[in-house]
């Protein structure tokens, strides 16, 4: 994993593909993503980055393993739940992982906006779980992630980063377009649209929604086990869930841990009054005409 070639490739500028800024190695393997053949029983977990992808992935893996914690510790989360568009020199790409390890092929994650999702997912009418988180907490979480995860360009100051986030000039582009795009798609496809804030408020109810969506029926004690195992405190100390199994050159937890705070409303510790006013006005403009609603705190 720690080949010098890969260390060298850290902190690269993003490339733009179909108007969306993305990591260069992902763009280089784009043809594989575009032609990926989803199967009708593939479950897709989709999120804008920093919206709770790891949290919902751990929940889904626990559900499919009937609440068996030991089975869910078989490997790091990024191997248990392949990242579809991922590509990194020297490693199997996400699509290669999905194609060559059929037994693992139950679920996959993506951060792609709807217009970039391989068409086979729509053609196969796959079940999809979309998890959204309020834009302000996502911006703060993303700022910290940019600092610790070295595949990102330098984030600059918080103010500079916030400007880039609002302009959609970050990896995966505009948060606004992402959440709206998936919100529209749920009208016509099998998409369970969830919110991070709801999961914070009542995680048990949200886990039950997932169970129902997947057509699974688990005993209450199993649901309680899932609830416990996927709490922020448990996941933070679980090396197979907290990304500490990533090499340090790729993610440096001493800069900022992957499991950072796991709360709603942390943005209040970062946004100045002026930034907040500008953000709110811009938000209103961006979300005009959409019925999407999200709580900024709980
Ligand atoms: P913070 O940086 O705000 O703490 P993703 O997995 O999409 O990259 O999202 C990471 C964010 O989800 C981080 O947010 C992380 O702490 C938070 N997170 C991960 N597991 C969580 C859990 N079990 N409960 C609450 N938040 C969690």
Kind and range of the H or E run holding 132:
strand 127-132
In this prediction, residue 4 carries a pLDDT of: 44
Predicted pLDDT of residue 148:
97
Model-level pTM? 0.96
> Can you name the residues that pair with 130 across neighbouring β-strands?
46, 193
Low-confidence ranges of the chain (pLDDT < 70): 1-9, 101-105
Phi, psi of 231, rounded to the nearest 5 degrees: -70, 155
Give the distance (Å) from ligand 1 centre to CA of residue 210: 18
Which residue's CA is the nearest one to ligand 1's atom 19? 55
The structural domains of the chain, with segments of one domain joined by +, span 4-286
Residue 5: per-residue pLDDT: 47
User: How many angstroms separate the alpha carbon of residue 124 from the centre of ligand 1?
Assistant: 30
- Does the annotation count 229 as an active-site position? no
Q: Which atom of ligand 1 is nearest to the CA of 236?
A: 20
Say whether domain 4-286 belongs to CATH 3.40.50.360.
no
Alpha-carbon gap, residue 37 to 24, rounded angstroms = 22
Q: Is the CB of 20 under 6 A from ligand 1?
A: no
52 in contact with ligand 1, CB cutoff 6 A = yes
> What is the pLDDT, as a whole number, of residue 90?
85
For residue 43, the SS3 value is strand
Find where tokens 């994993």 sit.
Answer: 1
- State the pLDDT at residue 3: 46
Question: What per-residue confidence (pLDDT) applies to 103?
Answer: 54
Q: Compute φ and ψ for 251, nearest 5 degrees.
A: -135, 120
């Amino acid at each position: 994993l720690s080949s010098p070639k890969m260390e060298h490739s850290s902190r690269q500028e993003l490339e733009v593909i179909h108007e969306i800024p993305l990591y260069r190695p992902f763009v280089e393997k784009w043809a594989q993503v575009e032609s990926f053949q989803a199967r009708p029983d593939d479950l897709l977990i989709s999120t804008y980055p920093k919206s709770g992808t790891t949290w919902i992935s751990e929940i889904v893996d626990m559900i499919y393993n009937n609440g068996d914690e030991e089975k869910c510790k078989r490997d790091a989360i990024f191997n248990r739940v392949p990242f579809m568009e991922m590509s990194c020199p020297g490693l199997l790409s996400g699509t290669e992982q999905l194609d060559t390890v059929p037994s693992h092929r139950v679920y996959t994650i993506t951060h792609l906006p709807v217009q970039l999702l391989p068409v086979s997912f729509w053609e196969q009418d796959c079940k999809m779980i979309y998890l959204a988180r309020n834009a302000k907490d996502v911006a703060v979480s993303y700022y910290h992630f940019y600092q610790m995860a070295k595949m990102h360009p330098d984030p600059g100051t918080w103010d500079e980063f916030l400007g880039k986030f609002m302009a959609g000039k970050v990896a995966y582009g505009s948060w606004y377009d992402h959440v709206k795009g998936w919100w529209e798609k749920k009208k016509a496809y099998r998409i369970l649209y969830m919110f991070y804030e709801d999961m914070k408020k009542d995680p048990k109810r949200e886990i039950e929604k997932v169970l129902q969506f997947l057509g699974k029926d688990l005993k209450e004690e199993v649901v309680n086990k899932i609830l416990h195992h996927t709490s922020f405190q448990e996941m933070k100390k679980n090396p197979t869930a907290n990304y500490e199994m990533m090499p340090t050159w790729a993610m440096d937890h001493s800069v900022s841990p992957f499991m950072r705070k796991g709360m709603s409303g942390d943005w209040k510790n970062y946004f100045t009054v002026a930034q907040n006013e500008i953000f709110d006005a811009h938000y209103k403009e961006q979300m005009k005409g959409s019925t999407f609603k999200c709580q900024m705190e709980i």
